[in-house]
Amino acid sequence: MDINIILAEIDLEINNINSPENLEQFRLKYLGRKGIVAQLTATIPTLSQGERASFGQQVNALKNKLSLLLEEKQRGNSANNSPRESASFDIGMPGIVQELGHLHPLTQVTEEICTIFNRMGFSIVEGPEIESEYNNFTGLNIPLEHPSREAFDTFYLKDYSKMLLRSHTSPVQVRAMKDRKVPLAIIVPGRVYRPDAVDASHSFMFHQVEGFMVDKGIRFSDLKGVLEEFSKAIFGKDIKMRFRPHFFPFTEPSAEVDISCIICKGIGCSVCGRKGWLEILGSGMIHPNVFNHVGINSKEYTGFAFGMGVERIAMLKYGINDIRLFFENDLRFLRQF
């Protein structure tokens, strides 16, 4: 038996194999107990000393080639795919679709809020989450004895007692008023931190949007007009708005803003605690002491500021009753937005 002829036959046969049964027949023919390789091996002792070594090597090479071909054919990735294997690839089958993600509901609401103010001419500015005690409190006229400055109410950095995780986005007022030139109309989205125990309405981390405008002759009525435009854009045209007197150290006068309850339209229900009104933000006219800290002449310039919680706005807008849902990343919740 001439090994070169055998090799040529193998090449022909392997191309014609188109079923597992054919493949098994092929295997038995060559590698079976009485197969061609076994027969060739049996002839080795009958050869002369000089022929044995090179013949033995040829038989071994043949055996290796056969094993390789069989393996390839079994995996179905032989370089010479049989017609039947090619036909089993259905070009009309739907592909593997990669599911598209989308923005988190809080990101969507933050973007919506910013877009509304952007349309009114506000620029979007961001500030750092690690802030100085000065920008977070002192610059905003929050006195040393104010309870919010206690370690109980603010995360201070262990090795830098004058640095903290900002407890609101208001410190960006101080930064922007120092760094930029008046007139200013700025909106500040961002993450804030407070050491609150987590429950349905509290989280140690949440999001706020701060806004402020500074120029000559800015009045409380400008604040009212801007916030009314905002409330209607985000909650609908029929919404009513009211200002309730309040106290914030960085504004004077200060007010909390309520909207008519979006569930009962002001009649009184469990969502608004039978009041007919829902609180949405804090606001006021920027305190002259804040202007003094940043070097703006409070005799010449006036301004308003406001701050709102993004989670609160999103919860009211979508009727969500537990803040923890935003942070658990349960897809059954997230997919609804």
The tokens of 273 are what?
Answer: 């605690």
Q: Is the dihedral of CA 285, 277, 193, 246 positive or negative?
A: positive
Write out the binding residues for ligand DAH, residues 164-183 only, by CB under 6 A: 168, 170
Answer whether 140's CB lies under 8 Å from 171's CB. Answer: yes
Shortest distance, position 140 Cβ to ligand DAH, whole Å: 8
Q: Is 139 in the site for ligand DAH (CB under 6 A)?
A: no
The amino acid occupying position 59 is V
Q: Site mask, ligand DAH, residues 210-249, x = CB under 6 A?
A: x-------------------------------------x-
Q: Is 189 in the site for ligand DAH (CB under 6 A)?
A: no
Answer whether 319's CB lies under 8 Å from 337's CB. Answer: no
Letter string b/e over residues 105-130, b meaning 16 or more CB atoms within 10 A of that residue's CB: bbeebbeebbebbeeeebeebebeee
The tokens of 86 are what?
Answer: 């090619």
Shortest distance, position 307 Cβ to ligand DAH, whole Å: 3
Which region among 36-44, 182-190, 199-207, 277-285 touches ligand DAH (by CB under 6 A)?
Answer: 277-285
Selected binder of ligand DAH within 251, 280, 296, 303 (CB under 6 A) = 251
Residue-wise DSSP of 50-63: HHHHHHHHHHHHHH
Our CB check for ligand DAH shows the closer of 266 and 307 to be 307
Q: Is 135 in the site for ligand DAH (CB under 6 A)?
A: no
The tokens of 66 are what?
Answer: 């056969």
Q: Is 284 in the site for ligand DAH (CB under 6 A)?
A: yes
Our CB check for ligand DAH shows the closer of 52 and 191 to be 191
**Distance between CA 94 and CA 281 in Å, rounded?**
50
Which region among 94-102, 155-163, 230-238, 280-288 touches ligand DAH (by CB under 6 A)?
Answer: 280-288
Our CB check for ligand DAH shows the closer of 136 and 260 to be 136
Which of these, 320, 208, 309, 306, lies nearest to 262 by C-alpha position?
Answer: 320
Q: Site mask, ligand DAH, residues 291-310, x = CB under 6 A?
A: --------------xxx---
Q: Which residues share a beta bridge with 199? A: 202
Q: Is 283 in the site for ligand DAH (CB under 6 A)?
A: yes
- Going through 43-129 in order, the beta strands assigned E by DSSP cover 123-124
Our CB check for ligand DAH shows the closer of 66 and 142 to be 142
Q: Which residues form the interface with ligand DAH (CB under 6 A)?
A: 168, 170, 210, 248, 251, 282-284, 305-307
